Chains A and B, each alone.
Chain A
Amino acid sequence: MMNRRNALARVALLMGGTLTAPTMIAFLDGCKTSNETANAASFAFSPDQLGMVSEIAEIIIPKTDTPGAKDAKVGEFIQLMLKDCYYPKDQKSFMNGLAKLEEKDFMKATPEEQTSLLTTAETNAGTESKRIDGERKKTKDAGQTFEEPGVPFFRLMKELTLLGYFTSEQGAQQALEYVSVPGRYDGCIDLKLGQKAWAM
């Protein structure tokens, strides 16, 4: 019979990663007032910003033998999501990240430079996320409520790009395997070579 203490000592505590976890964390703080919701709802990109967001999304999910983020109008989707589903602190965090890229003249840079800039943004987002995770744990362990900061820019950018692309008609039906009505469940089948993931 396994000793309970040994079993626990051997179990690693790791946060499993899913798309929605950080986004859900962003939602999990206290109730918001109507004012904040109303302010948030006036959010919008300028045409230049929309262009840049669309370009970044296309770099993340480019057109290959299947449609890319621009085909799926991911830029417009990101604007809608930030306006309707996020609060001012996330909108600010996003716009700050965007502004940093604007300062580096992102739209005029070469593809290599753009990749480098986004890689830096991604690394920064990772560092920032880890720092926030640490603070959250410290605060919760102390029995206090943690005030979630805005989601780091590139984290939010990437998540919304993936959501916008893979739930779009083009993404779901062409980049993934979309079966509207399966009609049955086969529990254990062979994965065919090059098979895509189910869209839903």
Chain B
Amino acid sequence: MNLNIKAQQQATYDAIVVGSGISGGWAAKELTEKGLKVLMLERGRDIKHVTGYETAMKGPWEFEHRGRISTMAREEYWANFRTGYTANEPTRYLFENDKENPYLETRRFDWIRGYHVGGRSLLWGRQSYRWNETDFEANVKEGLGTDWPIRYKDLAPWYEYVEKFAGISGSKEGLDVLPDSHFLPPMEMNCVETKAKGDIESKFAGRKVIIGRVAHLTKPEAFHTELGRAACQFRNMCSRGCPYGAYFSTQSSTLPAAEKTGNLTLLPDSIVTEVIFDDKAGKATGVRVINQNNPGDVKEYYAKVIFLNASAIPSTNILMSSKSDRHPNGLGNESDQLGRNIMDHHLGVGANGTMDGFEDKYYFGRRANGIYVPRYRNWGNDKRDYVRGFGYQGGGGRDSWGRGGDMPGFGAAFKEQISQPGTWTMNLGGFGEMIPNPDNRFTLSPDQKDKWGMPLIVFDAAYGENERKMRMDMMNDAAEMLEAAGARNINMYNDTEKSPGIGIHEMGTARMGTDSKNSVLNKNNQVWGAENIYVTDGAAMTSASCVNPSLTYMALTARAAEHAVNELKKMNL
């Protein structure tokens, strides 16, 4: 056997998973557990569970600038800076240096990236909600975008499947607009939130205020503990990485499960630049990979099936960059859909206020979760001058020493006063659905390249009239509800400088659909005309709903993985 064949065999796997984030980890877990030899390629560096979380246990004095951002960091993390928190000291090591790895904006787009093993599963907000039936039907009913090729009933069993493994804390509410999950015990509301809930629900028929649904182990099951995960310790330092494995991430959950099978090979520092498509065989045969630390070091890996889970934009980038006779405009791009219909959740709009009473009440522990108000607009008989809807995340709390900046005075009495808990406040921040718009897109720069020789991403997207109209309700309704809850000093806001990307839920660009002429992916998340490639991260999304998307990515991935394995068994791939 000559050296070439042997080398090729050593680089050949049953399946390749591109990306180790929240959906890639799931692909690796499912495929390895079903007996496949899997190569997971991650473009970023390795971060080991627990030992890799450099800042997780640090007190505020252990940060040079006490958590604030330096002017140098502000320049280097120019996109991250826009969020107001991702570029701060405790978590910055997990976000991408925007100066070293830039992108281009025809219109402002806040692209917030986490490139390392685990991806943004170490950084996510952990809010986990199912889609409802209407979410899947909205496009076809309103004549926007294209019809989803699946419905809620297709995904429902998979939601349950992933929820059990991930561990979702929440309360059963029996709401059509927000279907219940398989839940671990819910976290508590504090005094002010409970009062607000009572007032808002009694004054606004049909509206609910519930505790947030989060991927935190409030009560680990036996198999969670066996994976090495512990109960949430309520430190609220999640985005630094959790040494207790208490919230769902690749490192805490899917990676140890995959590694247990003995079928996983994980290669960090491996940037996939294209999928290799064999025109004669009519299918993908592997991927081309650049070493992150040495762009001249190019390798190829081969597999029968490929999962793209590099996160929405990079997955579509890979499809765009993979040219062949069969796919001259990029894989699955007969529809010219690649890069189009970028969506996100728009935010930066809502209200806050002070709450009287409860001066003799407090809370213990730092709850990494808030309350949630499920969508009520354009629901039931409600009809607005825009389509789709929004939910609110928010919560109550007592002011701390920070209020001293606004209070006149100084000295011993001042110090004493601001050392005690201050006024109760309550806030409601809206998360709104962005409708699909084919002109909201990204393309690849024809001439500018990154340091690995790959074309820079060029974003060209903006909110439209539907989003602007929705934001008026998001702001006014929040103020109205807070007022009903007895809040004073109500401040309502609508930051009109917010731009797509700020929700850090960027999705679309390789959407699922019913036909190769209207989409990139079929109802099984397979690429049209390259059915041994599955795309199950945000790229696949045909519409956005108003709920946090990661739970849906997990369900799509688990469902697609089963499909892929069955297809392999039937020798269809």
Chain A residues within 8 Å of B, Cβ to Cβ? 2, 4, 7-8, 10-24, 27, 31-32, 34, 36-37, 40-41, 59-62, 64, 77, 80-81, 84-87, 115, 118, 122-123, 126, 155, 158-159, 162-164, 166-169, 172, 175-176, 178-191, 194-200
Complex interface residues of chain B between 143 and 189 (CB less than 8 A to chain A) = 187-189
Q: Do residues A191 and B411 form an inter-chain contact, with CB atoms below 8 A?
A: no
Q: How far is the CB of A87 from chain B (nearest CB, A)?
A: 6
**Cα distance A87–B71 in the bound complex, in angstroms:** 8
Give me 10 A-to-B residue pairs in the complex whose CB atoms sit less than 8 angstroms apart, sorted by A's number: A17-B403, A18-B403, A19-B404, A37-B75, A60-B410, A84-B64, A85-B69, A122-B409, A163-B68, A186-B365
**Cα distance A80–B63 in the bound complex, in angstroms:** 12
Q: Which residues of A contact B68 (CB under 8 A)?
A: 23, 81, 85, 163
- Across chains A and B, which 10 residue pairs bring their CB atoms closest together, nearest first? A17-B406, A19-B402, A187-B188, A185-B365, A182-B365, A167-B60, A60-B410, A188-B191, A167-B66, A186-B364
Please name 7 further chain A to chain B contacts, defined as beta carbons within 8 Å, in addition to the given A168-B61, A185-B234, A189-B362, sorted by A numbering: A17-B403, A122-B409, A182-B364, A183-B234, A188-B363, A190-B361, A198-B366
Q: Do residues B404 and A188 form an inter-chain contact, with CB atoms below 8 A?
A: no
Q: Which residues of B contact A20 (CB under 8 A)?
A: 402
Q: Which residues of A contact B353 (CB under 8 A)?
A: 16
Q: Is B299 an interface residue (CB 8 A)?
A: no
Chain B residues within 8 Å of A, Cβ to Cβ? 57, 59-61, 64-72, 74-75, 78, 81, 84, 187-191, 193-194, 203, 233-236, 352-354, 359-367, 398-412, 414-416, 418-422, 425, 476, 479-480, 483, 488-492
Q: Do residues A169 and B61 form an inter-chain contact, with CB atoms below 8 A?
A: yes
Central interface residue in B69, B187, B359, B490, by most chain A CB within 10 Å: B490
Q: Which residues of A contact B365 (CB under 8 A)?
A: 179, 182-186
Q: Do residues A85 and B71 form an inter-chain contact, with CB atoms below 8 A?
A: yes
Q: How far is the CB of A37 from chain B (nearest CB, A)?
A: 5
Q: Do residues A187 and B61 form an inter-chain contact, with CB atoms below 8 A?
A: no
Q: Do residues B72 and A84 form an inter-chain contact, with CB atoms below 8 A?
A: yes
Whether A187 contacts B190 in the complex (CB less than 8 A), given A11-B492, A31-B75, A167-B61, comes out as yes
Q: Do residues A60 and B414 form an inter-chain contact, with CB atoms below 8 A?
A: yes
Q: Which residue of B lies closest to A68 (CB)?
A: B415
- The one of B203, B401, B405 that contacts A155, using a Cβ cutoff of 8 Å: B405
Q: How far is the CB of B353 from chain A (nearest CB, A)?
A: 8
Q: Which residues of B contact A184 (CB under 8 A)?
A: 234, 364-365
Q: Which residues of B contact A176 (CB under 8 A)?
A: 400-401, 419
Q: Which residues of A contact B419 (CB under 8 A)?
A: 175-176, 196-197
Q: How far is the CB of B379 from chain A (nearest CB, A)?
A: 17
Q: Do residues A24 and B84 form an inter-chain contact, with CB atoms below 8 A?
A: yes
Q: How far is the CB of A115 from chain B (nearest CB, A)?
A: 8
Q: How far is the CB of B481 from chain A (nearest CB, A)?
A: 10
Q: Which residues of B contact A180 (CB under 8 A)?
A: 57, 59, 235
Q: Which residues of B contact A15 (CB under 8 A)?
A: 491
Q: Do residues B66 and A62 form an inter-chain contact, with CB atoms below 8 A?
A: no
**Cα distance A159–B407 in the bound complex, in angstroms:** 11
**Cα distance A118–B71 in the bound complex, in angstroms:** 29
Q: Which residue of A lies closest to B57 (CB)?
A: A180
Q: Do residues A167 and B67 form an inter-chain contact, with CB atoms below 8 A?
A: yes
Q: How far is the CB of A19 from chain B (nearest CB, A)?
A: 3
Q: Which residue of B lies closest to A13 (CB)?
A: B491
Q: Do residues B233 and A191 form an inter-chain contact, with CB atoms below 8 A?
A: no
Q: How far is the CB of A172 from chain B (nearest CB, A)?
A: 6
**Cα distance A10–B488 in the bound complex, in angstroms:** 10
Q: Which residues of A contact B479 (CB under 8 A)?
A: 7-8, 11
Q: How far is the CB of B495 from chain A (nearest CB, A)?
A: 11
Whether A166 contacts B405 in the complex (CB less than 8 A), given A11-B483, A60-B411, comes out as no
Q: Do residues B489 and A18 form an inter-chain contact, with CB atoms below 8 A?
A: no
Q: How far is the CB of A20 from chain B (nearest CB, A)?
A: 7
Q: How far is the CB of B277 from chain A (nearest CB, A)?
A: 41
**Cα distance A84–B570 in the bound complex, in angstroms:** 62
